[in-house]
Amino acid sequence: MDPADWSDLTIYGMHACENAVVAPAEALNMSVKKTHWDKVEVADRLHKEHNLPDIADLIKELNELRKGFAYGEMTIDPSMSAEYIAGGVEHYLDAVSDLLKRDQT
């Protein structure tokens, strides 16, 4: 198995999660600002109000790791394995897909 490319994982994982927050929020007529922190708050609301998985902490960690890898100044070490992060992103995307399918019926 190849070692994890943390730079790719963090940037693409964070953007996948943030876009997966925006999609159901817009479908549910929730306002979403373009800031990272607003998307974290919306993710928390989606979790509490629509039973989507809780990914607020994952988004926060991915953003902090992404900045560290991009700028070469790590402020934190990953608290999760690459496999756990990828699995969390996939699980959230599946849950959003299910929610959007239910919302269309």
- pLDDT tens for residues 23-40? 999 999 999 999 999 999
Tell me the pLDDT band of 93, cut-offs 50, 70 and 90.
very high
What residue ranges do the domains of the chain occupy? 6-104
CB count within 10 Å of CB 42 equals 22
Rounded to whole angstroms, how far apart are CA atoms 49 and 96? 13
Q: Quick one: fold of 6-104? A: Four Helix Bundle (Hemerythrin (Met), subunit A) (1.20.120)
pLDDT score at 69: 85
- pLDDT tens for residues 56-88? 999 999 999 999 988 888 888 888 999 999 999
What predicted TM-score, i.e. pTM, was given to this entire model?
0.89
